[in-house]
Structure 1
Amino acid sequence: MELRLLVTFEKVATVLSFTRAAAELSYAQSSVTSQIRALESSLGTELFDRLGSRIQLTEAGERLLPYARQILELTEEARTAVTSAGEPEGTLTVGTMESLTNHRLPPLLELFHHRYPGIRLALRTTIGDETRQALRQGSYDLGFLMEAETDHPGLETAVLAAEPLALVAAPGHPLTGAPPATADLLAHPLLATEPGCAYRDLFERELTSVAPVSFMEFGTIEATKRAAATGLGVALLPRIAVAAELAEGALVRLEWEPPFTLWTQLAWRAGKRLPAHARLFVEQARKLLAEQG
């Protein structure tokens, strides 16, 4: 089996589209089709079922895919080992999120910039399902998750730390001073980031167990906490994202403890052999968050 044929097969199997695979590999679609046919001919079996405009892996294709990925990953690791002269290098595409990028990751990014200049980091801001899907499809090498669950089908996960949350409002808000019941929150305007954010979704689920709820939605954490600081309502946000505002007195923390825990995690596709520079990133991320507490 030629390596270039396995590269093409893995890409088509990941995106399930000859057209999209051709675009991502910078090939003509006819080249992708001929390479897949050449691989099928050499193996003596069909790897894809053609279903009109759609394709799907055959049983043989499903069996080949993990081997193809292992071969390609080992090939890249061998290339890196030969050409790097002992210095870690390579590109990592990492899914992340606003709160982590702004408040937890700067020391990690600074470390890699100065100590490991051969490692090129490409950060992609996504959350939840989008990050998990990108990891399973191979679009991301690693992805940060902030979830209540730590077991994700098709992924392996390093749990880095619990991520405390804080319910915040402007100073002088009526709910300050005494622990409010969950029902008390429903009598006040509620602010939130977009759906799909784990802590927003869990907060909504907790509130709707008491009564229907609606949120004033904002696109970012920064916009949400600014709205809270101006007195528009209360918001549940990662504590690290509001630490500065709480210290300055621009926001106050309400004495309501969420009945759920979120965990900051670093995930990658199950069965993926992480190259040395990816393992280094996981190791340093573990160390950093342990130091941050």
Structure 2
Amino acid sequence: MDIRQLRTFHRVAALGSFTRAAAELNYAQSSVTAQIKSLEVSLGSELFERVAGKVKLTPAGTRLLPYAGQMLSLADEARGVASPDAQPEGVLTIGTMESITSYRMPTVLEYFHHRYPRLQIALRPSLCAETLHSLRQGVFDAGFLMEAETQHSGVHSEVLGVEPLVIVAAPGHRLAGESKVDTDELRTESVLAPEAGCAYRELLEAELNDGSGEPVPFLEFGNIEAIKRGVGAGLGVSMLPRMTVTDELAAGTLVPLAWEPPFELYTQLAWRKGSQLSRERQVFVEQVITFLSQEYQDS
């Protein structure tokens, strides 16, 4: 069992694919397969199984994963100590969500592309609960959360800022232009929302479905762009992070409704508690906090 095998195992586990791991590590797929097989032989246990065409960890692989993450972190830390002037390199796997990836990260990614060309930032779409689990297991190096809570078991989180939320509707909607919209009025509307597990959807759902009447119908859409198109077509209203509808509000294709959410959502950067930050993770954490904290202050 060597570090290269563990790194390959870790990437396959994170990506759920031998092919994608090979592409990310710049290996031939046969090399990835051979490394995993060699690791399995040395441990005397199968680490992966194929279920419905997907690669899934076996119980032995699940038990190994957090140890592999710790050993890789230690190896990165040792490399940083031995070569303090070397440039950050390798792959950082970051759990994130669509709104952060599309609307907050481009500036950060551009900075890393030019400043640290040997460091690859791999963004993995993930709901907050999945991100927390992957952080605790050592699958993700860091992850973004958008939650009302700021304390999470097993991880350290740094609050980047309060995420402004807005209810949007089509310009011709009956509530558009009202000086104030109350919660009872929203309960009569169809609400377009992302998939279950999204924090701001769950907060709105709890607020509207408070037991005072029939549950408010939530129309589940696949992504934010689909939600915006549906709202623009008059299918209903939606609550979204304001950053995702800035252009539409400026153009007048969507309008904000005068309803203030009675809750706050905090965007956070998190990593596993108790783990020593490698040089690469330290650079990422510091730069994300610098870039995004300022963005939230300015917004």
TM-score, normalised with respect to structure 2: 0.78
Residues 243, 230 of structure 1: alpha-carbon distance in 2 compared, 3 angstrom cutoff? same
* Contact 1:158–1:267 (CA under 8 A) maintained in structure 2: yes
In the alignment, what sits opposite 2:180? 179
CA deviations over 1:45-79 (Å, ceiling 9, x no partner): xxxxxxxx966999xx9xxx77x865542322222
In the alignment, what sits opposite 1:96? 96
* Contact 2:189–2:216 (CA under 8 A) maintained in structure 1: no
Shift of 1:279: 1.1
> Which of residues 28, 32, 36 is equivalent to 1:26?
36
* Pairing 1:56-95 to 2, within 5 Å after superposition: 72-82=72-82, 85-95=85-95
* Contact 2:167–2:259 (CA under 8 A) maintained in structure 1: yes
In the alignment, what sits opposite 2:290? 287
Structure 1: any 5+ residue segments left out of the alignment? 16-21, 35-52
**Amino acid paired to 1:132:** L
In the alignment, what sits opposite 2:124? 124
Q: Indicate the RMSD between aligned Cα atoms, in angstroms.
A: 3.1
Task: Please state whether the residue corresponding to 2:227 is helix, strand or coil.
Answer: helix
Task: Please state whether the residue corresponding to 2:208 is helix, strand or coil.
Answer: helix
Task: Please state whether the residue corresponding to 1:109 is helix, strand or coil.
Answer: helix
What percentage of aligned pairs have identical amino acids? 47
In the alignment, what sits opposite 1:41? none
Work out the CA distance in 1 between the residues paired with 2:255 and 2:62: 54
* Contact 2:190–2:216 (CA under 8 A) maintained in structure 1: no
Task: Please state whether the residue corresponding to 1:26 is helix, strand or coil.
Answer: helix
Residues 200, 81 of structure 1: alpha-carbon distance in 2 compared, 3 angstrom cutoff? same
Residues 189, 151 of structure 1: alpha-carbon distance in 2 compared, 3 angstrom cutoff? same
CA deviations over 1:209-228 (Å, ceiling 9, x no partner): 14312211100011001111
Structure 2: any 5+ residue segments left out of the alignment? 15-31, 46-57
Q: Does 2:216 match 1:213?
A: yes
In the alignment, what sits opposite 1:201? 202
In the alignment, what sits opposite 2:265? 262
Task: Please state whether the residue corresponding to 1:240 is helix, strand or coil.
Answer: helix
CA deviations over 1:163-219 (Å, ceiling 9, x no partner): 010000001211121311111112122111110100001110111114312211100
Task: Please state whether the residue corresponding to 1:259 is helix, strand or coil.
Answer: coil
Structure 1 runs (4+) greater than 3 angstroms displaced: 22-25, 53-58, 68-72, 80-85
Work out the CA distance in 1 between the residues paired with 2:236 and 2:256: 13
**Computing the radius of gyration over CA atoms, which structure comes out larger, 1 or 2?**
1
Work out the CA distance in 1 between the residues paired with 2:75 and 2:198: 37
* Pairing 1:152-167 to 2, within 5 Å after superposition: 152-167=152-167
Work out the CA distance in 1 between the residues paired with 2:59 and 2:77: 33
Number of equivalent positions:
261
